[in-house]
Amino acid sequence: MTALASPTRRALLAAGAGFGVSLSFMGRARAADGLGRKKLVVIVARGAMDGLSAAPPVGDPDYAGLRGRIAIPAEAALKLDETFGLHPALAGIHGLARKGQARIAPAVASPDRARSHFEAQDVLESGAAAAYGTSSGFLNRALEAMGGHRVEALSVGTTAPLILRGKVQTASWSPGRETDGNPRLPAILGDLYAGDPLLGPALAQGLETEAMVAMARKDAAPAAAGMAPAASGGGLQALARQGRAAAEGVGRTTAGLMRRPDGPQVVALSIDGWDTHANQGAVEGQLAGRLSYLDALVMGLHDGLGETWKDTIVVTATEFGRTARVNGTGGTDHGTGSTALVMGGALKPGGVIGDWPTLKPAALFEGRDTRPTLDLRGLFKGVLAEHLGLDRRALDTTVFPDSADVAAATGLA
């Protein structure tokens, strides 16, 4: 039998029906105080999401010329204001924006400038000023600063993503995976490790998590049954419909876990597949498929959370942006500034978060990228302070070490 990993590094990177989604949750909600009801979901778009397509600045006079064949036409973009729209694949999120429940930060970046996926993801998830500066993730340190309860967990699979590693234990769920297909295996494992002081409690927590997932799936089933079935036939459109259905299912099941009185307060998910060096597409294509998946995931969360949505904020961020200019293969290369999406019923309505530097040649970072005007740490500081109640000292020293010079975004919650 495969050895169980140490419970101090417990979580998951789980494949959701082959679509490159992973989910982990941590920190049971504190007792019934106001802050304990607040929920935070962080979605990491791994691979460098193209912010200039996710939230195209169609009103910027330099946009269309730089983007060429991958530009989103102004008439196709879902209007946010005179400068920005959303990609047409983000129709659900646009509906939230019309209700004041979704905003964009169009020029954000971590402190990293190496344009390396490995380094930039490390900086994003660790919350440090440089790559490999700490072995724990900023969300775990945030829960520690909040006095979150320790949660023992059982994870079958891979190591926890950095954003969740640290002193606060994480619980895990792997979408689409049962316990080796053997309904008796949980009981067998429970008996085997019942007397083990280390693995026994961890296994019990894991089995409890599995039971929570089963209940969440059962709760989500009536709503899922009311969804229109995917049309028959092959091709990219059929795959896209299946992708949306899978993403919405993950969102609804996650929401079911979050709604429970003993459910998680902080959730982290990741979606892979954003490294669009070639054949990126515009209104349709490779990137549109990823954005459609993200949109369905968010709407699954929204619909599944019900009344809990009003206490929830969802942030989507990526390790860096992509070049302002289209490349020779119809894609974009590693860049700097990108777009973050901030959504939720607890979000304060408002406009664009941060300043827009424009796409004028002189304004581009190193002559090629969207120039960042907002540090991602500042965006997350604002959410953690205003939504979850963390104080400035903890944010500046513990959650994001040595970051007193990074101001928190304001007016978010």
- Token pair for 126: 């660790």
Query: What pLDDT digit, counting tens, does each position of 389-406 carry?
Result: 999 999 999 999 999 999
What is the predicted pLDDT for the residue at 130? 96
For the chain, give the number of residues.
Answer: 413
Residue 6: band (very low, low, confident or very high) from pLDDT cuts 50, 70, 90? very low
Which pLDDT tens digit goes with each residue over 301-315?
999 999 999 999 999
Q: Which residue has the higher pLDDT, 370 or 24?
A: 370
Distance CA 263, CA 276 (A): 36
What is the average pLDDT across 162-176?
Answer: 74
Which residue reads 């067998």 in tokens? 188
Percent of the chain whose predicted confidence (pLDDT) is above 70: 71
pLDDT of residue 239 exceeding 90: no
CB 297: neighbour CB atoms within 10 A?
Answer: 31
CB atoms within 10 A of CB 260: 15
**Assigned CATH topology for domain 35-49+75-180+200-222+235-324+344-357+382-412:** Alkaline Phosphatase, subunit A (3.40.720)
- Neighbouring-strand partners of residue 106: none
pLDDT tens for 111-141 read 999 999 999 999 999 999 999 989 999 999 9
Q: What was the pLDDT predicted at 179?
A: 37
Contacts of 200-205 with C-beta under 8 Å, sequence gap 24+, read 201/152, 202/4, 202/7, 202/10, 202/152, 202/153, 202/154, 203/4, 203/154, 204/152, 205/151, 205/152, 205/153, 205/154, 205/171
pLDDT at 196: 53
Q: What pLDDT is recorded for position 194? A: 54
The answer to whether 315 touches 342, Cβ cutoff 8 Å, is yes
Average pLDDT over residues 276-305: 97
Q: Which of 78-87, 203-212, 334-343 has the lowest mean pLDDT?
A: 203-212
Least confident of 5-14, 212-221, 227-236, 324-333: 5-14
Q: Global pTM?
A: 0.82
